[in-house]
Each structure stands twice: as C-alpha cells, then as structure tokens.
Amino acid sequence: MAGSLRENLLYAAPSATPEELAEALAVTRLDALVARLPQGLDTPVGPRGVTLSGGERQRLAIARALLRRPQVLLLDEATAQLDARNEQALSELVARAAGRCTVLLIAHRLSTVTDADQIVVLEHGGVRAVGTHHSLVDDDDLYRELAATQLLAAEPPA
C-alpha cells in the first residue's frame, strides 16, 4: 500500500469507473473517510498505508477485492488485528459483501462468525460439525465449549 487511495483501489481494477469506486467505498464504509480527507481519493496513504488505521487498511484491502467482482471472497483471520469496534464494522461489511458474492471467513474468534449462514467447525484437519451458531451451540460439544469460553467471557458483568 502506497500512493493515493485512488491508486490503491485502481491497482485491483485499473478500468474501474468512478461509479464502481464509489460503490466499493460505500460498501466498505470508506466513503466517510474519503469525504473528510483534504484531497479525497487523491490523498496519499504513505508507505504501507501508514496514514490509515488498521481498520481502514483492512477495509481498503476488501474494497480492492470487491472491485474485482469475485464470485468468492476469502477472508482469512480478517479480524485478528482489529479492536472490537472495527471487528463489528468488518462484520457489517461482510454481511453487505455476502449479497454480492460467496464469503468464506476463516476465524478463530467465534464473535466473527456467529451471524454466518453456515459455520464449519474443523478439528484435527477434518470437518467436525456444520450448522448455524445456534444449532452448533445445541448440538456440538466442542463448539458449545468454545462459545462459552469466548462469548460469555466477552459479555459485560450484569
């Protein structure tokens, strides 16, 4: 990541129209960032995107991927470096992207996948269980244990 926001987006799709750029920015909620930057899309992001937050860099990478109009969008540990607020924003982005293509989201944090249409639980290199968050909590001991450990620990005390 270097150059301007526009150059970063066009790197993935050199022939993208202004409308397609605007759509990718809206889906990833980068349009608000662009609106407040002094040079808009032509604002430099610095080497490796140093002027952007971790969440903004993540969303820019996803915007680039969406501009290519993939049939499948693979996100591997997309929330690993994000705080809770940016993780929520990314979850909303994934939900919007799922309307355009199939999204495969690899995650260790269950909070990342609880709203997924289908969750595949892997153990020892194989598929252990498949289902929604609720069905897996009901039917799979390992998933239930992970949910209790990860999700209940994250809840604020009553």
Q: Which pLDDT score, from 0 to 100, does residue 153 have?
A: 53
Token pair belonging to 22: 């605007």
Domain of 79, CATH number, reads: 3.40.50.300
Q: Does a structural domain hold residue 155?
A: no
The reported pLDDT for the residue numbered 25 is 92
Whether residue 138 is contained in a domain is answered as no
Q: Is residue 37 situated within a structural domain?
A: yes
HSE value, Cβ hemisphere, 13 Å, CA-based, for 8: 27
Catalytic residue among 20, 56, 77, 123: 77
pLDDT of residue 140: 97
> From the first residue on, what is the mean pLDDT of each consecutive set of 10 residues in the chain (158 residues)?
89 93 89 93 88 86 91 85 74 81 88 90 96 96 92 54
Query: Domain range holding 76?
Result: 5-117
- 127 falls within a domain: no
* DSSP annotation string for 22-85: HHHHHHTT-HHHHHHSTTGGG-B--GGGTTS-HHHHHHHHHHHHHHT--SEEEEESTTTT--HH
What pLDDT, on the 0 to 100 scale, is given for residue 86? 72
The number of folded domains in the chain is: 1
Q: What pLDDT does 70 receive?
A: 92
Respond yes or no: is residue 77 known to be catalytic: yes
Q: Quote the pLDDT of residue 157.
A: 47
Among 123, 126, 115, which Cα is nearest to 143's?
A: 123
At residue 135, the pLDDT reads 97
